Each structure stands twice: as structure tokens, then as C-alpha cells.
């Protein structure tokens, strides 16, 4: 396997306080079985799955309870054995409302007969392995929630020669991938090797930020057996963003509007790789994940292995509750996560963290007009002009914002973090992208 060039530094970026010391040294704990789980139906980018079970039906752990709604979709599986309860509604991460199905535990936690292990996977047909990834309901677990089998299905005209596994975990406070790489090292590596076989590539790199020396050491110790190279990366947010990670590891730049496959790369998260391994080797679909429960208000911050559908209220109880009233609940990290208005949200396949912050840490700020200082420009990893684009959005000139590449914004929050005028830059860009997408859809209809 050819070595990558010297690790490159991407443009822009910031160094926020990472807060990882609250939980990075604590071994992950497996959450006890709950009496009831609330499984949201739509947990992936793309079409929502279609429910295939009815109220009162008996299900086993890992049994399929929803079929994919199309190619860009994944099935859902029961997080435990028991009875299907009501079809209800829960708050979604982005402030929307989602349909969810209750799974009422019978206390037995019995696996059903579903997916058979594919052993040895090294001799299996690539199409069979890719179908297993789809059948396992696996999505990008770093936050994007893009179906993994779609990423592993590049069009024939795109030549892929490199798989990059994202173990950077650059988001402040989050340590779920860190603990996963320490505790399930072989699973991450084997899952990466399976993904590489599906893609038919032999260049596999795992990028890990240098603030995780124990994870780097553990992964390096076992990586040679899988033909994988571990690449230590400078600590700089957003080092784990796809385009920045590709540039850092390979020196290849993804053009505006382009995708990783345009430069011969596919990127998968470390957690996604472990889930791929479990689906192939164990026959276990994705029904649980590593999640950080952290923040200074949390009595016992740490990493937990939660079943999908675990209410956040229950997750916080397991972490000992809170020592003071939090000012903000965020699913994900403080930079790219979503603040919640309700405690009724549940753990989904891409819930990397449950973060509580105090009023001292969040503060309340009044936005003021842009002072043209240029700080947002200097830190933008996509080389955009956040300040001027923000003004365009305020003026509802979405065409001009689109002309200035607002659709390339990855919503990392670096610009908002450094803005002395406390302007809601990311919120402006999210609004612009939603408006532009609505305009594009309307054009297609006509």
C-alpha cells in the first residue's frame, strides 16, 4: 500500500476549548435494558423507512420493523425483544416532529433469526457484502446519517482508489469515537477492511487527531494485520470534515460542488466501520451505538452504549442526572450539534453526543451589524465570505448568496464562533440553503 504524502493543513479552522477531559478517560458503559424504547422511523438522509409491524405484534431483538423507502434509505430493527406498542410522535433533532414506534420490552432481550454471519467475508462476493451493509440499516454515524451502502456504491465512471476512515472526532466534548477505537479496535479495523473490499481498494487510511494518543497507539498496534495505515492529524477544528480530512490525508482537493468520489476517495466514520463489521461477521444490524453523555452539569459524564430509541431523559438518569440546571441541551457537539427545546428526544443512529451546558458556558448575546473585521473569512475552511453572504441572506437575496457559494457551507460554525458581532451566521446559511433547495425543487416541477 502506498503511503500518503506529508499531512497537509487545510485552510482556516479554529481551536475551541475541547472539553474532552470530562469523559475521554472513562470506559464506556452498556446501558441496562429499559422497559420501553421509542424508535423514530426517519433516522437517515433520504427516504424514510416504511413501518412493517403493527401494534401488539411480537418482535425479537434485531428483527426488521421497517423496510427502506428507496435506494437512499435503510431498514430499522427492534432494539430488544418484546411487543410493538403505539405509533406515536417524538421531537426530531432539527426541531421537527417524527413518527416513532414503541417497542415494549419483554425483559428477555432475545435475538431473532435474521441476518446470518458472512464468514469468511474475505471470500464473499462484493455485492453480497454491500447488500449486508444495506440490510444492517447502517448509516454514517458521525452525524451525517447518509446510508452507508450508498457511499459504497460509486457510479462506474468514478474510479475509487482510497478509503479514509474518520477517527478525528474534532467536535469539542465528544469522545464516543475515541472510546470506540480504544475498546473495539479490531472491530473498527475489520469493518474498514470489509468496506475496502466492497470498494475494491487497497489504500486504507484512518485519520485520528493527535489529542488521542492512546487511540493512535492502539490502532497502530493492530493496523498492520489489515493493511491499514494510521495517520495522526493536527488538532484543528473541523479536521474531521470530509473535504478537510481528504485534503489532510491525501493532498487532494475536492472542487466546489464536488464529492469525495470525484477525487477517488470514500470516507466512512469509525463507528460506521464497526457497525459494518458487526453486520457482516456477527449478523447483527445497527441497534445500538457509542454516545457521549457529557457537560459540566452532568454528575457522571462518560460514554454509554445505548440502544436506538433510548429516551434522552433516561440517558441522563443513567449518567447520574445533573448537579445544576442546564441552560442548553444539545444533541451532538457544541459546534455542529442541534440545541433542543424538549427533553423528549431519543437516541438515534447518529446521536454521537448528549451535551449539557450551563448559562455561564453558553451566555446570551445580542447580534449586531457586521463590522467587516474579516475574522470569519480567515477561519472558514471552505474559503467562503461568511460575513457578506450573511448580509445577502438578511436581504433575502438568495440568488446572490447561491452565486457566492453558500451551498458549499458545511455549517461547521467556525465563523459564528469567532464573530465579535455575535451574528447568527450558521443559522443564516441554513436558511439560505433551505430556501435555495425549495426554489430548485419548484423549478423541477415546472
Number of domains in the chain: 1
List the one residue out of 423, 326, 417 whose CA is nearest residue 378.
Answer: 417
What pLDDT was estimated at residue 436? 96
Low-confidence stretches of the chain (pLDDT < 50) are 1, 3, 5
Q: Which residues, at least 6 apart from 168, have a Cβ–Cβ distance to it below 8 Å?
A: 207, 208, 209, 233, 239, 240, 245
- Whole-model pTM? 0.95
Question: Is residue 118 packed enough to be buried (19+ CB in 10 Å), middle (13-18) or exposed (0-12)?
Answer: buried
Burial class of 337 by CB neighbour count within 10 A (0 to 12, 13 to 18, 19+): buried
What's the confidence (pLDDT) of residue 6?
55
* Residue 433 is assigned to a structural domain of this protein: yes
Alpha carbon distance 207, 26 (integer Å): 22
Query: Is 429 part of any domain?
Result: yes
Domain assignment present for 101: no
Beta strands in 31-170 (DSSP E): 36-40, 50-51, 58-59, 64-67, 76-77, 82-91, 97-105, 162-166
Q: How far apart are CA 1 and CA 230, in angstroms?
A: 12
Domain-located, residue 394: yes
Per residue in 213-246, pLDDT tens?
Answer: 999 999 999 999 999 999 999 999 999 999 999 9
Enclosing domain of residue 424: 375-445
Instruction: Please check whether residue 12 lies inside any domain of the structure.
Output: no
pLDDT for the residue 7: 77
Residue 73 lies in a domain: no
Nearest to 77, CA basis, from 226, 291, 287: 287
Domain membership flag for residue 58 = no
Determine, yes or no, domain membership for 440: yes
Q: What is the pLDDT of residues 55-108, one digit of tens each?
A: 999 999 999 999 999 999 999 999 999 999 999 999 998 888 999 999 999 999
Amino acid at each position: 500500500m502506498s503511503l500518503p504524502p506529508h499531512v497537509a493543513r487545510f485552510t482556516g479552522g479554529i481551536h475551541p476549548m475541547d472539553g474532552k477531559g470530562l469523559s475521554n478517560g472513562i470506559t464506556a458503559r452498556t446501558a441496562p435494558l429499559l422497559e420501553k424504547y421509542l424508535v423514530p422511523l426517519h433516522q437517515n438522509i433520504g427516504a424514510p423507512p416504511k413501518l412493517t409491524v403493527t401494534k401488539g405484534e411480537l418482535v425479537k431483538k434485531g428483527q426488521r420493523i421497517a423496510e427502506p423507502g428507496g435506494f437512499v434509505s435503510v431498514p430499522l430493527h427492534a432494539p430488544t425483544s418484546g411487543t410493538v406498542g403505539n405509533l406515536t410522535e417524538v421531537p426530531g433533532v432539527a426541531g421537527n416532529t417524527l413518527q416513532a414506534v414503541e417497542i415494549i420490552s419483554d425483559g428477555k432481550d432475545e435475538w431473532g433469526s435474521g441476518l446470518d454471519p458472512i464468514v469468511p467475508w474475505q471470500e464473499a462476493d462484493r455485492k453480497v457484502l454491500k447488500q449486508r451493509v444495506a440490510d444492517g440499516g447502517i448509516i454514517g454515524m458521525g452525524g451525517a446519517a447518509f446510508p452507508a451502502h450508498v457511499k459504497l456504491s460509486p457510479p462506474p465512471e468514478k474510479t475509487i482508489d482510497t478509503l479514509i476512515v474518520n477517527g478525528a472526532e474534532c467536535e469539542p466534548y465528544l469522545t464516543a469515537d475515541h472510546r470506540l477505537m480504544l475498546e473495539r479496535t479490531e472491530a473498527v479495523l475489520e469493518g474498514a477492511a470489509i468496506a475496502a473490499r466492497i470498494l475494491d481498494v487497497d489504500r486504507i487510511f484512518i485519520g485520528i487527531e493527535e489529542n488521542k494518543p492512546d487511540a493512535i497507539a492502539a490502532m497502530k498496534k493492530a493496523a498492520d494485520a489489515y493493511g491499514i495505515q494510521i495517520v495522526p492529524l493536527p488538532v484543528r477544528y473541523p479536521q474531521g470534515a470530509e473535504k478537510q480530512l481528504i485534503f489532510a490525508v491525501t493532498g487532494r482537493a475536492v472542487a466546489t460542488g464536488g464529492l469525495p468520489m470525484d477525487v477517488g476517495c470514500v470516507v466512512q466514520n469509525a463507528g460506521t466501520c464497526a457497525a459494518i463489521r458487526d453486520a457482516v461477521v456477527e449478523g447483527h444490524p445497527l441497534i445500538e451505538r457509542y454516545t457521549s453523555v457529557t457537560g459540566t452539569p452532568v454528575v457522571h459524564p462518560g460514554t454509554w452504549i445505548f440502544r436506538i430509541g433510548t429516551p434522552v431523559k433516561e440517558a441522563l438518569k443513567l449518567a447520574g442526572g445533573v448537579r445544576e440546571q442546564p441552560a442548553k441541551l444539545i444533541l451532538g457537539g457544541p459546534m455542529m450539534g442541534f440545541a433542543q427545546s424538549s427533553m423528549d428526544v431519543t437516541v438515534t443512529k447518529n446521536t454521537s453526543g448528549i451535551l449539557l451546558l450551563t448559562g455561564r458556558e453558553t451566555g446570551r448575546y445580542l447580534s449586531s451589524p457586521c463590522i467587516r473585521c474579516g475574522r470569519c473569512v480567515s477561519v472558514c475552511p471552505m474559503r467562503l465570505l461568511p460575513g457578506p453572504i450573511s448580509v445577502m441572506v438578511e436581504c433575502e437575496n438568495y440568488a446572490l448568496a447561491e452565486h457566492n457559494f453558500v451551498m458549499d457551507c458545511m455549517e461547521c460554525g467556525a465563523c459564528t464562533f469567532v464573530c465579535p458581532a455575535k451574528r447568527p451566521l450558521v443559522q443564516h446559511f441554513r436558511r439560505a440553503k433551505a430556501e435555495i433547495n425549495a426554489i430548485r425543487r419548484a423549478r423541477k416541477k415546472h
